[in-house]
Each structure stands twice: as structure tokens, then as C-alpha cells.
Amino acid sequence: MVEMLMSTYQVEAWTPLESHFSTEIGKIPIGSLIAFDYRPYRLTEVRDRAFDLWPAEIQAEYAQMGGTDPDTWWARVQTIRLQPDGRHEAKGLHRLVRAHYRLHVLPEHYAVCHRCGDLPPCREAVVDRQVAEATKVMDQAMALRPGDCHACGEPVTGRHKAISFPGPNLIRPDLPNGTVVFHGRHGECGNSAYRYDERWAAAEPGRARPTSALPVRWPSDSARGQHHRLHRR
């Protein structure tokens, strides 16, 4: 029997329509219906796993934290068994989990997609949504012009604080170097600048960058201006 470590308890960006909140494994009664990988399952067993059978990386994590009793550690390794709901003859799933993991509990009466049998929103609906979101992001990126904020798409003028980045444009590689700029205000523009800062630093190993601040400038229409600093919070 192969037991796989569940690194996540739900499909990324997916929450079952009929279970908006997740529950810690230790608080879920045996026999409850849970959602896993778009399908309904019965939780039929939860048991602690012997320390010497824990994955090596979790043993190392436990040791690093100075643990003294693995049997009561809040993040100890457990084994759960999931049985496909209504299919007693089907092979159950065995998964290694950690005691603090959370699962989505379903009501006894739940809906499924009539086309594929998935719990809603089904895989197809999720993919459609992801494609629509990716298309929207691509359309917004393709509409950018030099001098536009790379978060909101509005022009950055001499009246605005701005955060700019030298080098190739990682959002629109077809635009000239040094064209990445964000409004320096709080909110999504500033948040996008910080996310881009991480991406910008990772794009070139050893790239020199401030460790506690980002360069901020009030650009003129000729892309020249006085430099200031925006401190991280």
C-alpha cells in the first residue's frame, strides 16, 4: 500500500461550493463527508504515525524545533483513509497528513456536476475561470505603453510618486529596458510593485538591490526626476 503525503488539502484556488470553511482534521468525526480533489469521500480512519516512519524532512523540522514528545506535537504526521462516497467496493485512498491540516466537510446532501460528477465548481468550470483570468491579465499587459503603471494601466505622470525598475521588462519583454514603473501609492499598485521586486531580484542571480527599501521617484514626462525611497513595511 502506497501512502502519499498530502502537501495541500484542497486544489489551489478551489473551495467546494457547499463547504466554505475548512475544519482541522482532529475535529472532524469519523464517517464525515469531506471534499478532496473535486470528489466526495468518507473519512473512515485517522491514526498517528510512528515517528520513525515520518518523512525525513518532517523529522528534521521536529528536531529543529526542539520537540520532546512527537505523539503530542501539533504538526505530527498522521495517516487518514478516504473512501469514495457511495462506492464501498472502490479502493480507498490512504494519505499521510499533518495534525494541523484542514479539510472541507460536506453536508449529507450535496450537489455534483451532471456532466463530470465533480463537486461544484468542477474542474472544467475552474479551468474556464482560470483561462478567463489569465486572458484578462494578458490583455491588460498587452495594452501597456511606456510610462503606464504596470499594475493599474494608468499613466504615471510628474504629479505621482512612482516605483521604477531598471533592466528588461519582465511583464512586457517587447518593451524597452527600464519601462517598468508603478504608482508609489498604497494599495494594489504598491503591492504589485513589491511582488515585481521579488521577481526582478530573482531574474538575475546576485543582482544588487536594496534590502530595506525600493527606489521611488517622481518622474517627469522625459522619464527624469528626483529619486527618493519608499520603505518596506
> What is the percentage of the chain residues whose pLDDT exceeds 90?
49
Answer yes or no: is pLDDT of 162 > 60.
yes
For the segment 68-97, the average pLDDT, to the nearest whole number, is 93
Q: Which carries the bigger pLDDT value, residue 1 or residue 62?
A: 62
Q: How much is the pLDDT for 127?
A: 85
Answer yes or no: is pLDDT of 138 > 50.
yes
Q: How much is the pLDDT for 13?
A: 57
Which stretches does DSSP call E strand in 85-224?
A: 93-98, 102-105, 162-165, 180-183, 213-219
Predicted confidence band of residue 73 (pLDDT cuts 50, 70, 90): very high
For the segment 220-224, the average pLDDT, to the nearest whole number, is 40
pTM comes to 0.59
Q: How much is the pLDDT for 210?
A: 40
The span from the first CA to the last CA of the chain, in angstroms, equals 49
Local structure of 36: helix, strand or coil: strand
Instruction: Report which of 41, 40, 42 is spatially closest to residue 113, judged by C-alpha positions.
Output: 40
Q: How much is the pLDDT for 222?
A: 40
Domain ranges of the chain: 4-122, 141-231
Q: Which class is domain 4-122?
A: mainly beta
Q: How much is the pLDDT for 3?
A: 54
For the segment 123-127, the average pLDDT, to the nearest whole number, is 85
Q: Beta-carbon neighbour count of residue 172 at 10 Å?
A: 18
For the segment 109-133, the average pLDDT, to the nearest whole number, is 89
Half-sphere exposure of 67 (CA within 13 A, CB side): 17
